Amino acid sequence: MNQQKKREIVIPSQLLGEVKNKKAGRGTFVEKGLIYSEILGILDEKSDYINVVPIKGRYDPVVKDFVIGIVQEAMASSWLVDINAAYPALLHVNESPWDVDFGETEKYLNYGDSIMAKVLQVDKEKKLQITLKDYNLYKIKGGQIIDVEPSKVPRIIGKKGSMITLLKKYTKCRIFVGQNGRIWIDGNDVDIKKVIETINMIENESLSFGLTNKIEELLKKDAKDVR
Amino acid sequence: MKSDIKLFIDGKRLDGRKSDELRKIKIEAGVLHRAEGSCYLEWGGNKIIAAIYGPREAIPRHTQNPLRAIVNARYNMAAFSVDDRKRPGPDRRSTEISKVISEALEHVILLEKFPRAAIDVNIEILDAEAGTRCAGLTAAAVALVDAGIPMKDIPVACAAGKIENQIVLDLGKEEDNFGSADMPLAISPRTGEILLLQMDGHLTQEEFDKAFDLALKGCYIVSDLQKKAILEKYKPILKEE
């Protein structure tokens, strides 16, 4: 699709267009009928919208996102979990799969534990709630967690998961990509190393075209047996 | 202040500049790894590092604002930044500068996007040679953009002043010490709004207007340098294949 379309970096306060012709999308603001960029990012002009995709920045939680969190604090009937957002997220015992007695939260999750979770609620004050009550959500045991820029996550997953399927196919790793820029990888050491290397490469070259094919060739070259 | 030093020699200033010339400015974005955003800036003899942390939950909790974020700028001069060792730690001067810079930045950051949060802006003066508050604010602005924080504009600052009855742009060290007025100005270059305006010394109405126009002109020059520095840092990721 839109191959060879020129990509452009925009900085805050850069003039992008007029409200007359286009609609102001994400990462933009309108003043006196003119559309400006509000963040450092890459210009993305759809037919009638002007969006700016951020290059850097904190994870902005959206309901139903799958995230990887690290427990910060165990309280009497809830946990505080760091999900890489500006605020810690609350995980209430009712949202956990266990039957936790009052004051015994530490038996199940304690400081430093990692969990896969889903964002349950984001309110106006940006108070966050997450839940463990969904398919495939649990406490993480073993493996490794790496951090990437949250804005690069869509690229690592690929179109309809193409990139991540590729990674899983050529390495014998179990991979879970959280929308908040944390990636959990489990497998043997050699494979984990390869996955991390590949992900770093995807992150660095996230803007080049035909990246999926390039990565596939690379993985094919040193993969001995394909699952 | 009267002095024996002549600040003008054959129409040129001590460091050979013309009256409407800036000192040499070098800006580099994204120099620190652990900070969300950072900037290193050299402005004449000033050497400054600015680092951004956050947005993160504001602590202590009573400082939180349920509707918007707060900006904590911290201006700090290193003990070795001036000729005589400066006693480390916050003092009256740095507290004031921290406050005015915080307020200038608050006007351009889209604070409503981060209720209850705090954005920490640390400005460290490694080497000082007059005009550090302008340089600090300029560096902080670049660091904020580098951190990916949504902003309405990239603020910029520049000073003008009066030495030997002449209005000049961007005072150097001797000019600041022995000149008769110094006026730092920070603006939002897109709209031309004033974010910071201070003055020390005396100027007549006409002199003030002249100094103001000169500082404004300087701001726009520095603003272009800021934008160039940011683009230079992020251009390489666009390289194709």
pLDDT in tens, chain A (227 residues): 444 456 789 999 999 999 988 888 889 999 999 999 999 998 988 888 899 988 888 888 999 999 999 999 999 999 999 999 999 999 999 999 999 888 899 999 999 999 999 999 998 888 999 999 988 888 999 889 999 988 889 888 888 888 888 888 888 888 999 999 999 999 888 888 888 988 888 888 877 777 888 888 877 776 655 54
Instruction: Identify the burial level of B204 via C-beta atoms within 10 angstroms of its C-beta, where 0-12 means exposed, 13-18 middle and 19 or more buried.
Output: exposed
- Cβ-based contacts of B36 with chain A (< 8 Å): 56, 58
Most A CBs within 10 Å, among B145, B237, B241, to test the A interface: B237
* Domain spans, chain B: 23-238
CA distance B36 to chain A (A): 8
Single-letter amino acid, residue A172: K
pLDDT at A73: 92
B37 touches chain A (CB under 8 A): yes
* Domain layout of chain A by residue ranges: 9-54, 66-131, 144-222
CA atoms of B114 and B118, how far apart (whole Å): 8
Specify the range with the lowest mean pLDDT, choosing from A93-97, B6-10, B34-38, B202-206. Answer: B6-10
Residue type, A81: V
The answer, for B6 touching chain A at a CB cutoff of 8 Å, is no
SS (H, E, C) chain B: CCCCCCCEECCEECCCCCCCCCCCEEEEECCCCCCCEEEEEEECCEEEEEEEEEEEECCCHHHCCCCCCEEEEEEEECCCCCCCCCCCCCCHHHHHHHHHHHHHHHCCECHHHCCCEEEEEEEEEEECCCCHHHHHHHHHHHHHHHCCCCECCCCEEEEEEEECCEEEECCCHHHHHHCCEEEEEEEECCCCEEEEECCEECCCHHHHHHHHHHHHHHHHHHHHHHHHHHHHHHHHHHCCC
* Measured distance CA(A84)–CA(A149) in Å, rounded: 10
Residue A178: both structure tokens together: 């959280």
Structure tokens at B215: 């500082």
Pairing of strands A89-92, A128-131: parallel
Structure-token pair, residue A221: 């070259």
**Are B117 and A29 an interchain contact pair (Cβ–Cβ within 8 Å)?**
no
How high is the pLDDT of residue B162?
A: 93
Query: Which amino acid appears at position A84 of this protein?
Result: N
Do B56 and A209 lie within an 8 Å CB cutoff?
A: no
Cβ pair A208:B240 closer than 8 A: yes
Domain A144-222 falls in which CATH fold? Ribosomal Protein S8; Chain: A, domain 1 (3.30.1370)
* φ and ψ of B111, to 5 deg: -70, -25
Chain B residues with CB inside 8 Å of A207's CB? 237-238
Is ipTM strictly over 0.95?
A: no
Residue-level length of chain A: 227
Is residue B159 a contact partner of residue B148, using CB atoms and an 8 Å limit? no
* CA torsion angle B172 B175 B176 B177 (round to 10): 130
Q: Do domains A66-131 and A144-222 have the same CATH topology?
A: no
Name the pairing type of β-strands B156-163 and B70-77.
unpaired
The Cα A225–Cα A92 span in angstroms is: 44
- Architecture of the CATH domain A66-131: Beta Barrel (2.40)
**Subunit contact A208:B239, Cβ cutoff 8 A:** yes
Q: Which residues of A touch B234 (CB under 8 A)?
A: 9, 40, 55
Residue B28 has a CB neighbour count (10 Å cut-off) of 17
Q: Which residues of A fall within a CB distance of 8 Å from B219?
A: none
- Map tokens 């530490």 to a residue: A106
pLDDT tens for A23-46 read 888 899 999 999 999 999 989 888
Angle at B44 between CA B40 and CA B48, to 5 degrees: 25
Q: What CATH number is given for A9-54 in this structure?
A: 2.40.50.100
Model confidence pLDDT, tens digit, residues B38-50:
999 999 999 999 9
What A160-163 contacts at long range (C-beta under 8 Å, 24+ apart), as own/partner pairs, is A162/A212, A163/A202, A163/A211, A163/A212, A163/A215
Q: What is the pLDDT of residues B96-109, one digit of tens each?
A: 999 999 999 999 99
| C-alpha to C-alpha distance for B169 and B176, rounded to whole angstroms | 11
Has residue B241 got a pLDDT over 60? no
CATH topology of domain B23-238: Ribosomal Protein S5; domain 2 (3.30.230)
Which of B142, B149, B148 lies closest to B123 in space, CA to CA?
B142
